[in-house]
Structure formats: C-alpha cells, structure tokens
Amino acid sequence: MIFASKKDNFRWIISGMVFILYAGISILIYVTQNDITVLYGLGTVWILLTIFIAWILPATTRYTFLEDHLLCQSMGFKRRIYYHTFSKIEASNGLYAGWKMNTAWKCLVVHYNKYDELLISPENEALFIEVFEEKKAQFAN
C-alpha cells in the first residue's frame, strides 16, 4: 500500500521566508554597491528553491508498506523500517531533530528500533496509522 505525502501551506511559508531573506540581502547589496545584477542571481535561486520545495519534493515523497518493511522515499533518499522493529507512532509536537521525510507541518513520528525515529507526513494519516498498527501486531515477537 502506497501513501502519498501530505501537502499543506508550510511549503509556501518556507518559500516566503526565503524570499524575505533574499529581498533583504538584495536591498543591502544594491544600497552598498549600487548594482542591480545581484537581483537576477538571487531571484533565480529563489525561483529554483520554490520549485524544489513546492513541487518536486512533495511529488517524490511517498511511504510504501511492503512485505516485511515500510519504505520511506524522498527524492533519492530511502529509509527502510522493518515491521518487527516498529515501536509506536504518534503525532509530532513542536520542533523535531532527527530524520525527516515530511512535507507538511503537522506530521507523525514513527519510533522504531530502540532509539530511532523518523518524521513523516502521509496524506491519509488515519489509514496509515491503521496499517501501521496491523503490521506491528502481525510482526510482533
């Protein structure tokens, strides 16, 4: 079973924050050097980052329940979590430091092994949690 990644306005907020940062840098450079060409370079970088954050990253992020493991993919990165190592799944609360394969602000934390965690954001969280619990029960030792 394949779950697409959830998409919310968080990606547009990130793009807006980068725009504000680049606009401030551009104004600072223009005022100090009186050179407008820097706007073209920073503008191009901002557009490319926005395309990456808003369209490419969410389109390539997915979570697949396979025979014996959960496969989490984002771009070229993959993380395999074997069902027998599942510990629990819970909603994230606040800032998180660790592996992230999410594209939304509200997401889930998958706990596996003894201390490993992965932040994910499946589109249909309720169904994902249901399948997660089924697989956890099926492969429990």
- Per the CB < 8 A criterion, the answer to whether 5 and 55 are in contact is no
DSSP 8-state symbol, 78: E
Coil, helix or strand at residue 120: strand
Number of domains in the chain: 1
- Per the CB < 8 A criterion, the answer to whether 42 and 25 are in contact is yes
pLDDT of 10: 86
Burial of 68 (0-12, 13-18, 19+ CB in 10 A): exposed
Which are the contacts of 14, defined by CB distance < 8 A and separation ≥ 6?
53
pLDDT in tens, 81-132: 999 999 999 988 777 766 788 888 888 999 998 888 899 999 999 999 999 9
Domain containing 6 equals 1-141
Confidence of residue 141 (pLDDT cuts 50, 70, 90): low
pLDDT in tens, 45-75: 999 999 998 889 888 999 999 999 999 999 8
Q: Residue with structure tokens 């807006």? A: 16
Query: What CATH number should be reported for the domain holding residue 10?
Result: 2.30.29.30
pLDDT in tens, 1-47: 999 999 888 889 989 999 999 999 888 988 898 888 888 888 899 99
